[in-house]
Amino acid sequence: MHAYIKDYLNSLDTDVEHAVRDLNLVTRLQALHLTKYSFSSVNALQDLPLSTEPEQLFKRLITDKQGGYCFEHNKIFYLALQALGFNVQIVIARVMLNGQLENPRSHRLTLLTLDGKQYLVDVGFGVSTPILPLAIDQSGIVAEGMNKYRITRCDNIIMVHQQQPEEKYLYRVELAEFFESDCDIAHFYSHQHPSAVFVNNLVVSRIADGERFLIRNQSFFYWHQAKSLHTEQVIESSEHLYQLIREVFLLNVSLQSAQWLFTKIRSAS
């Protein structure tokens, strides 16, 4: 196992060396990743080079705590599961938040086959990331606590709807053969094309213990599921943005970068 994968697994504060390689371990690692490593478009918005070569990728997201989006987070999780001996494959899905069937494949996640069953595993869909592996062998409901997902399967097409904490169509997955080269193309578009969402919008999110945190441009949102609490506030200054990014989202962003980001999102509003 590569040193950077060992360092990543150690950072999740769980004993993987002696753990049984089962679904409980995957679920635990998924929740820990979502808690510790935030989704972020900060680098894409600043037009920074985002290599997905493993050593550089792990350094940027895990060691330097710069955050990232699906092609970064889910590649890290895929490589970690693979190193632990799990049977995993790359999947690229169509994001369906707007409900349009012609949306391109632009979201990477992982197909896990375990004990003869298939699951979708995701650690990179922002504030709406499923918090546990989703069983996809047949249509049905996958639920854990106050989180509920509806899976609809027709042959090799799987549609994933979130029902709780709020109703939304997440993505459509067509099971096929995908390679890292397919991810490279979609990743390049997602962080380099002038009309790509993350090139034009500041999106930062984290999910932890029933709480969800989100920055969407100049707004900061907070949800507490058990208390049915939802708040929204305007980010009024670069100092406020800097404080949120570092203290709530645990990202290593400089004050200079926060100032640039604040000016960028304010001028775009």
Q: Supply the mean pLDDT for the chain.
A: 95
Provide long-range contacts, Cβ within 8 A and 24+ apart, for 5-12: 5/58, 5/79, 5/80, 5/83, 7/58, 7/62, 7/63, 8/58, 8/62, 8/76, 8/80, 9/80, 9/84, 11/36, 11/62, 12/36
In which residue are the tokens 């929204």 written? Answer: 232
Rounded Cα–Cα distance for residues 182 and 216 (Å): 28
Q: Which of 90, 91, 71 is nearest to 82 (CA)?
A: 90
Q: Which of 230, 234, 228, 194 is nearest to 216 (CA)?
A: 234
Instruction: Answer whether 202's CB lies under 8 Å from 211's CB.
Output: no
Beta-bridge mates of residue 216: 203, 219
Beta-bridge mates of residue 107: 93
pLDDT category of residue 58 using cuts at 50, 70 and 90 = very high
| pLDDT for residue 149 | 97
Q: Is 232 left (phi over 0), alpha (psi -120 to 50) or beta?
A: beta
Q: What are phi and psi of 10, to 5 degrees?
A: -65, -35
Rounded Cα–Cα distance for residues 147 and 29 (Å): 17
Express each pLDDT in 163-180 by its tens digit.
988 899 999 999 999 999
| pLDDT for residue 13 | 86
| pLDDT for residue 77 | 98
Q: Which of 192, 257, 186, 245 is nearest to 49 (CA)?
A: 192
Amino acid, res. 239? E
| pLDDT for residue 246 | 97
| pLDDT for residue 146 | 86
In which residue are the tokens 């080269």 written? Answer: 181
- Token pair for residue 137? 């062998």
Express each pLDDT in 69-95 by its tens digit.
999 999 999 999 999 999 999 999 999
Our CA angle for 150, 167, 34, nearest 5°, is 80
pLDDT category of residue 17 using cuts at 50, 70 and 90 = confident
